[in-house]
Structure 1
């Protein structure tokens, strides 16, 4: 087995992740409306939403236990950000400048960009941002 410290693997990419939902269609439609995307054809028990970098969010219905909220962050084009905020307002969803939802109706300006947080129908904390986080 190769030693990762000496031979970093740079070709590993996230391909898909499962997003648990009470109603997969409702939750997938919510996200696609806000982000301006489309829902793909059902794939087994999954309802996919493909993102621009080839990663798929596979919505999966979960009814037997509570849904554990997750955080999903989306890097979005600056020229589409205002439209996304307008769509949140149009459907009556409050957005926040911070991940703890303490600053309603406001956006942030992290890393010289713009960003906002909002909950999806299942309580997942969604984030839209126009600039990626600068990591040390």
Structure 2
């Protein structure tokens, strides 16, 4: 049996705004409604299903990492910088305004509109380089 990741639910304050933030930043197809979700489809068919959380409920922030090409990194990081989005080289946010160069690649962390920790990286960690 071949096991692959299919989807996860991403809690948000505004599912449409959060889903559109990601699709625009990553140059992905527009999100599509499915039941109570706004669905962002990634490469290979995996999906992020954005769902609204009532304002009286806490959103537990999660971390979402995306492996991108060098060209995609340049494009996405350019958008992050041009929009003045806060970003860091590390998950602890101790190196603001920087990128990391782990394993011979590049990576950066930034928040989405609901406060989730998003990351783009060009090489998987531990891959050498």
TM-score scaled by length of structure 1: 0.87
The structure that has the greater radius of gyration is 1
1:5-64 CA-partner distances (Å, limit 9, x unpaired)? xxxx5x111100000000001111111122111233200001011111211000001114
> 1:33·1:87 contact (CA, 8 Å) conserved in 2?
no
Distance 2:22 2:84 in 1: 14
Q: Which runs of 5+ in 2 are unaligned?
A: none
Q: How many residues align?
A: 126
Q: CA RMSD in A?
A: 1.3
Matched, 1:89 2:81: yes
> 1:50·1:56 contact (CA, 8 Å) conserved in 2?
yes
Q: Which runs of 5+ in 1 are unaligned?
A: 1-8
Matched, 1:105 2:120: no
Q: 2:61 aligns with which of 65, 69, 78?
A: 69
Q: 2:43 aligns with which of 52, 69, 74?
A: 52
Map 1:11-22 → 2, pairs under 5 A: 11-22=2-13
TM-score scaled by length of structure 2: 0.92
Q: 2:107 aligns with which of 97, 107, 115?
A: 115
**Secondary structure at the counterpart of residue 32 of structure 2:** coil
> 2:20·2:31 contact (CA, 8 Å) conserved in 1?
no
Deviation, 1:75, is 0.3
Aligned to 1:5: none
